[in-house]
A and B are shown apart, each in its own frame.
Chain A
Amino acid sequence: MGRGTFQETYAQDMAIFHTPSQWGALVVFLALLLACPMFVSDRVLTIVTMIGIAIISVHGLNILTGYCGQISMGHVGFMAVGAYVSAILTAKLGWPFWCALPCAALAAGMAGLVFGLPSLKIRGFYLIMATLAAHFIIIWIILQLRSITGGPDGMAVPKPRIGSLVIDSKARYYYLVMVVACLATYIAVNITRTRAGRAFVAIRDNDLAAEVMGINLFIYKLQAFFIGCLYAGVAGALLVHYYGFASVDQFPFMDSVWYLGMLIVGGMGSIAGAVLGAVALKLLDELVTIMGPVLSAAVAAQAAASLALMARGVVIILFLIFEPRGLVHLWGMVKAYVRLWPFSREEAE
């Protein structure tokens, strides 16, 4: 647990992993991810795949909201842009999946740039309203372009094909999503360590001071929007290719809110927080699915629907009140407690 680690060179100080045990944990975790499809059921595999897609999306939102402080409530709208671009390129134009995915990401990033423009004049609640409007306008445009998107009927999306390999089984799709999710996490960690990442944090903490220090707000805010929506586009594309079908019903407005909720539950402005939050809220959904029939049998028929509506809201309220710094902070406290045991009492906050 990192007892007495000393960094003696800059390279050591900059490293993501400081101790051999951290490297070991990473290897074990990756091996577990790799071996997962061999010993879990299809249902569990679906859940893990969905968690992976959520993690990709939340990473984008984390860079935009958690690091740069630009709150976006239109994240799902940008996911829809990526999803439909990828769907149209593969289904209508016959592009291969590995070409369509970057294009989808770029298209979503461009949409993010357009709707990120108001962020230069407004912030806080007003920016939330602008991004919320962006969501509804994007969905409306998709519905209007009936000839290419199928409008309200949706459109069929082919299974992804990479070279001669068709990703048609659940296990294969699981590997695809996990590779992209791991890459996304790796890139997100490194983005936050670059000049741009530090500029984002400076803008979040005090934009006036950041500008005085020579950070170009115009460039960096738009960069944050571009990167955040890039991630959203990838996640959206993976989502519709998984279902083999794209429709606007897959991108409801409330999902944007839940992505923000994942950030709050996990811990804002932390890569590990984004991952933990996505896992936690998705597992909560599964718990609700399992508990629903039990509740409706025990209490009342509408109890299940009510629970489904309330569960996430209640969890977010509890986190906001009792642990606003999220699961990451909680985990840090546990680690500190274990490390200092049996003298933890004196060090406890």
Chain B
Amino acid sequence: MTFFLQLVVTGLSLGMIYALVAIGFVIIVKCSNAFNIAQGHFVLIGGYLGYTFLVVFHLPLWAALILAIGTAALLGLAIERLAVRPLIGQSELAVIMMTIALATVLEGLATLIWGGEYKTYHGVLPTLTLKLGQISVPPESLIGLMVSVVAVAVLMFIFRYTKIGLAMRATAEDLQVVQSLGIKATTVYAVSWVIASIVGVVGGILLGGVSGVMIPLAEIGLKAFAVVLLGGANSVGGAIVAGIMLGVLENVAAGYLDPLLPGGGFAQIFPFVVMIIVLIFRPNGLFGLARIERI
């Protein structure tokens, strides 16, 4: 039983990382129906930014956060203006290839600026520990959980009750109608990329504080797509639920199945197996709107 609980608890912290990546991803889907493969790289850049501001510049946490969020907003704006806006009206593949190309450029920039090394800054972020019986919940899952719950709450509020949120949802629904109603679609796109970039960077700072960042971290972005599909590509709340589910399931499945399989490494492909199953049986995910065109 203790083994099982330990698996669940470590799965939780993994799930929180998935959820943080997935939330940023869902925001852009919700606003522009574009799929941003580079979301994992925002997290990576965030981790390195946190390192620069907190360790290299010795700034207090609040100043570092403000600076990082400012940088993230600029990054999001630049990407939207220079790379995504020229593609309005082009095929879905063009947008996806653009974000993949952006991902490699971001990875290249991270290598150029920070040397692609492992960076961590333990003890700078406030820590929380919680004991449940014999099991200690790792601080990263608690902080991650809090940040993602707050992020989801804020985003749900924005989407449901503000004018820009309404404009975002409308833009995803039908670009032409929105433009004919006098809403500036380009502003909506810019806002969505800025928010996604900020969510990614804040997640990265968290991650850097608890477990460190390095280049392979960005590959978590690929696995987070399973979360996005499971939760539903246009459901912010779904991202967090599916993130926790998948993180825990992956860990439990790996813990019990790896000894049975000769090669092991089941955790590596578990998200992809889930992905295929979801795509075949419930393509719009658990909480997504059933808007997929069936043929």
Interface residues of B in 244-275 (CB under 8 A from A): 261-263, 265, 268-269, 272-273, 275
Distance (whole angstroms) from the CB of A312 to the closest CB of chain B: 7
Q: What sequence of 0s and 1s flags, for each residue 295-317 of chain A, a beta carbon within 8 Å of any chain B beta carbon?
A: 00000101101111110111011
Partner among B109, B261, B269 whose Cβ is within 8 Å of the Cβ of A136:
B269
| Residue pair A143, B263 in contact (C-beta under 8 Å) | yes
Mostly, the B contact residues are: helix
| Residue pair A126, B283 in contact (C-beta under 8 Å) | yes
Q: Residue of A at shortest CB range from B284? A: A126
| Residue pair B92, A125 in contact (C-beta under 8 Å) | yes
Q: Residue of B at shortest CB range from A300? A: B112
Tell me whether A339 is interfacial, beta carbon within 8 Å: no
Known A306-B111, A314-B101; judge A129-B225 contact (CB<8 A). yes
Q: Which of B82-90, B148-156, B162-170, B186-194 contacts A (4 or more CB under 8 A)?
A: B82-90
Tell me whether A140 is interfacial, beta carbon within 8 Å: yes
Tell me whether B103 is interfacial, beta carbon within 8 Å: yes
Chain B residues positioned under 8 Å from A144 (CB to CB): 261-263
Distance (whole angstroms) from the CB of B85 to the closest CB of chain A: 10
Mostly, the A contact residues are: helix
Q: Residue of B at shortest CB range from A125? A: B35
Q: What sequence of 0s and 1s flags, for each residue 96-140 of chain B, a beta carbon within 8 Å of any chain A beta carbon?
A: 111011111101110110011000000000000000000000000
| Residue pair B268, A140 in contact (C-beta under 8 Å) | yes
Q: Which of A28-36, A88-96, A165-173, A256-264 contacts B (4 or more CB under 8 A)?
A: A256-264
Q: Residue of A at shortest CB range from B35? A: A125
Interface centre among B92, B111, B294 (most CB of A within 10 A): B111
Interface centre among B268, B273, B283, B295 (most CB of A within 10 A): B295
Tell me whether B222 is interfacial, beta carbon within 8 Å: yes
Chain A residues positioned under 8 Å from B105 (CB to CB): 309-310, 313-314, 317
Partner among B87, B108, B279, B295 whose Cβ is within 8 Å of the Cβ of A129:
B279
| Residue pair A120, B295 in contact (C-beta under 8 Å) | yes
Distance (whole angstroms) from the CB of A291 to the closest CB of chain B: 14
Q: Residue of B at shortest CB range from A307? A: B108
Tell me whether A121 is interfacial, beta carbon within 8 Å: yes
| Residue pair B101, A317 in contact (C-beta under 8 Å) | yes
Chain A residues positioned under 8 Å from B229 (CB to CB): 126, 129
Partner among A65, A132, A310 whose Cβ is within 8 Å of the Cβ of B104:
A310
Tell me whether B94 is interfacial, beta carbon within 8 Å: yes
Tell me whether B181 is interfacial, beta carbon within 8 Å: no
Docked Cα-Cα span, A281 to B295, in Å, equals 35
Distance (whole angstroms) from the CB of A58 to the closest CB of chain B: 14
Docked Cα-Cα span, A295 to B131, in Å, equals 52
Distance (whole angstroms) from the CB of B162 to the closest CB of chain A: 27
Tell me whether A18 is interfacial, beta carbon within 8 Å: no
Q: Residue of A at shortest CB range from B262? A: A146
Tell me whether A2 is interfacial, beta carbon within 8 Å: no
| Residue pair A321, B294 in contact (C-beta under 8 Å) | no
Chain B residues positioned under 8 Å from A120 (CB to CB): 295
Q: Residue of A at shortest CB range from B273? A: A137
Tell me whether B93 is interfacial, beta carbon within 8 Å: yes
Tell me whether B66 is interfacial, beta carbon within 8 Å: no
Known A118-B276, A136-B272, A309-B108; judge A320-B98 contact (CB<8 A). yes
Q: Residue of A at shortest CB range from B29? A: A125
| Residue pair B103, A313 in contact (C-beta under 8 Å) | yes
Tell me whether A176 is interfacial, beta carbon within 8 Å: no
Docked Cα-Cα span, A309 to B222, in Å, equals 18
Q: Residue of B at shortest CB range from A218? A: B295
| Residue pair B104, A313 in contact (C-beta under 8 Å) | yes
Known pairs A121-B294, A146-B262, A307-B108; list 9 more (Cβ under 8 Å): A118-B280, A122-B279, A130-B275, A130-B279, A144-B262, A217-B295, A306-B112, A310-B109, A321-B86
Give B contacts to A, CB under 8 Å. Answer: 35, 83, 86-87, 90, 92-94, 96-98, 100-105, 107-109, 111-112, 115-116, 222, 225-226, 229, 233, 261-263, 265, 268-269, 272-273, 275-276, 279-280, 283, 292-295
| Sampled A-B contacts (5; CB under 8 Å) | A121-B283, A125-B35, A134-B276, A313-B105, A317-B102
